[in-house]
Structures are given as structure tokens and as C-alpha cells.
Amino acid sequence: MGEYHHNLDEKGRLTIPSKIRYELGEDFVLTRGLDHCLFIYPKAEWETIIQKYRELPNTKEARNFMRFFLSAANVCEIDKQGRINIRMPLLNYANIKKECIIIGVNDHLEIWAKEEWEAFTVENEAEISQIADHLFSNPW
């Protein structure tokens, strides 16, 4: 959990906050996320996701989602300076130029372009209360 502000360097490397490096482990998976951000999963969590995908029906919808999600996935390692290298197709997908926001979301991290995160926050801020009421209301 948390929100961290960092910048890409000139080689497309991003510093992962020291507070969360340990939880990620030595290697982890970086892929396209939803809403034009990137997802980072610890290796164990990634394996759980892959197992769930194996159980999906062989429908066009499932195949298309797996193509989108898995084709961009790659195993990453943190270098000695605490950085990861993000490939250009992923940077382009997430519209990341320099300023990034890294957020913790339950079982994964998300990396957002600063402008995308700010737009998402403004766009959804008014509805968060209603969304919380809907998600957490007791149905009985």
C-alpha cells in the first residue's frame, strides 16, 4: 500500500521504493495493467494468477484478455541502485514519459504516469463514497 512519486531516468529505469523492494523479492513480473497503468506482481502472486488463467474457459473473451495481459509480461530484477528497467512498449502503453506514481494495491503494485494518475483521481473522486457503499454494504 502507499503512494510513491519517482522519475524515470534517461534510460527508462525507475527506482522502486526501498519500503517495498523486500516484499517483491529478487524477481517479479511487470506487465500491462488496466486503465493505462502497469502492474507489478511478486512471483508467487503471478503464479496464482497464471493458475486462475488456466482454469478460464476457452472463449474469445478469455483468449483476448490473456493475449493483452500476458504478451507484455516480463520478469524483472531490481539492480544494485534499486531500479527496474521498463521496456518502451510498456512505457508507451502507460503514457509514462518521466514522472511516475507507484501505488500499492493489495496484491500488486501499479505504476502510473503522473498525469494519468491525477486524471484518474479527479475523475473518480466524487464517486468513491458511492462505490464504497456499493462494494461494502451488507446485502442481508
The whole-number average pLDDT for the span 122-136 is 79
pLDDT tens by residue, 66-112: 889 899 999 999 999 989 999 999 999 999 999 999 999 988 999 99
Confidence of residue 139 (pLDDT cuts 50, 70, 90): low
Question: Percentage of residues in the chain with pLDDT exceeding 70?
Answer: 98
d(CA 131, CA 6): 29
Domains and CATH numbers, the chain: 2-136 (3.40.1550.20)
